[in-house]
Amino acid sequence: MRHSFLTLLFLCLSALPLHAFTFGNIDGGTHDLTAWKGKTVLVVNTASKCGFTDQYGALQTLYERYRDQGLVVLAVPSGDFRQELATGEQVKEFCALHFGLTLPMTDITSVRGSDAHPFYKWVAETTGFVPRWNFNKVLIGPDGEVAGTYGATTKPLGRALTKEIETQLGRS
């Protein structure tokens, strides 16, 4: 049986777990997700000038509440919806000043379309989920697979998300 190049590429990408990806770190260097193998990871595309920006505080609280149990919260600032500051440095300063963020953050990253980061292309190809706005959430279980996807209106400390996080933490 012959497969087209695109079919083979899709099969390879859909078989990748979270740990196959790296992101640029807002502090320089990279976030190599192999370091989080076996952990539960919540990946959130964020923006500094969005109506949902106050979720940063709840994401920090979520991170502090569950990090000792194995949760990583990764903020992925994105300008895809034209609500992000111009530079990673500005984003980092804004988040530190207004929310006291200590959770890991990537540099400004595209999350949709042809320029989307490979992680977001993988999520779209494996689940059909594409961020429709800022503060969309992708929960990755300790096995490196997508455990759930959530829209911007899902509150970081709401029961829908915390229940699934606790379930995934119990699997690690």
Q: Which residues pair with 111 in a beta bridge?
A: none
Six-digit token pair at 134?
A: 């800022």
Please give the C-alpha separations between residue 28 and each of 104, 112, 151, in angstroms, as whole numbers.
12, 23, 29
Active-site amino acid positions: 50
Report residue 103: phi and psi, to 5°: -70, 155
Six-digit token pair at 18?
A: 């979270």
